[in-house]
């Protein structure tokens, strides 16, 4: 599995340099405008959507076809992809944390931003990876937009309704909402891995 992870990292090393440059530009621009939180959100979104490039490379160079003839199981192929995606997520969170600390954003806000980013990462990867295996990258990119829109649309819609009705979410249940969301996303991730392994195991190349 280590070889597969290394392959993904070597495959993206050139693009990663470009990504780092873009993130730096965003950080400087948004930071100078006094909105480091926005830069951090963009960093997070860019990093998590980066795993889609790995699937594009797989399809373009036919690495997916080659990987199945190597002495690794199809389960390992899938787990390696989740591991690399997790690594991207972790690095982006770390970079965001350092950036927000340097920009002297309050610790409570940093925790909130990073927690939200982590939830978004889990949701995006959990939904998107099996879709990439099943439908390919092109279709999955469009589906990702749709899948991202649904929960955030619903969340925004409810928030607006609450606001219009003059209601507010009791603050004492917020930790339970976060924990509940984390549990659901954790289970979702387990289901996502299980589904991806199933799709790849049955796939013919």
Instruction: Give the Cα separation of 138 and 58 in Å (integer).
Output: 12
Taking the least distance from each CB to another protein, the nearer of 66 and 155 is 66
The binder of another protein chosen from 42, 45, 72, 97 (CB under 8 A): 72
- The two three-digit tokens of residue 13, written as one number: 């090393």
Rg (CA), the chain: 19
Of 13 and 104, the one with the shorter C-beta distance to another protein is 13
Environment class of 132 (CB within 10 Å of its CB; exposed 0-12, middle 13-18, buried 19+): buried
Q: Is 57 in the site for another protein (CB under 8 A)?
A: yes
Instruction: Give the angle 79-65-45 at the CA atoms, nearest 5°.
Output: 50
Of the pair 194, 203, the CB lying nearest another protein is at 203
20 makes contact with another protein (CB under 8 A) = no
Distance CA 113, CA 119 (A): 10
Using the rule CB under 8 A, which residue among 38, 42, 73, 103 binds another protein? Answer: 73
Q: Which region, judged by CB under 8 A, interacts with another protein, from 6-14, 38-46, 87-95, 150-158?
A: 6-14
In the list 24, 45, 46, 68, the residue contacting another protein (rule: CB under 8 A) is 68
d(CA 202, CA 205): 10
Cα–Cα distance between 121 and 175 in angstroms, integer?
A: 19
Q: Does 137 bind another protein (CB under 8 A)?
A: no
Question: Judged by CB, which is closer to another protein: 7, or 40?
Answer: 7
Here the tokens at position 139 are 């279709």
Which span sits near another protein by CB under 8 A: 65-73, 91-99, 105-113, 120-128? Answer: 65-73
CA–CA separation, 48 and 156 (whole Å): 22
Using CB under 8 A, list all residues that contact another protein.
Answer: 2-4, 6-7, 10-11, 13-15, 57, 61-63, 65-66, 68-73, 204-205
């Amino acid at each position: 599995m280590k070889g597969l992870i290394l392959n993904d990292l070597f495959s993206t090393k050139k693009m990663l340099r470009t990504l780092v440059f873009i993130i730096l530009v965003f950080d400087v621009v948004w930071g100078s405008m006094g909105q480091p939180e926005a830069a951090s959100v963009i960093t997070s979104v860019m990093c998590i959507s980066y795993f889609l490039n790995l699937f594009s490379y797989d399809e373009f160079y036919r690495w997916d076809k080659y990987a199945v003839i190597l002495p690794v199981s199809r389960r390992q192929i899938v787990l390696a992809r989740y591991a690399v995606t997790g690594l991207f997520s972790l690095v982006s969170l770390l970079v965001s944390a350092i950036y927000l600390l340097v920009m002297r954003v309050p610790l409570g806000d940093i925790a909130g931003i990073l927690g939200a980013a982590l939830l978004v990462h889990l949701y995006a990867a959990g939904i998107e990876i099996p879709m990439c295996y099943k439908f390919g990258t092109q279709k999955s990119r469009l589906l990702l937009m749709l899948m991202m829109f649904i929960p955030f649309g619903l969340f925004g819609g409810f928030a607006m309704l609450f606001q219009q009705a003059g209601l507010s979410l009791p603050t004492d249940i917020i930790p339970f909402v976060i924990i509940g969301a984390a549990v659901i996303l954790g289970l979702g991730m387990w289901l996502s891995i299980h589904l991806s392994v199933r799709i790849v195991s049955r796939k013919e190349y």
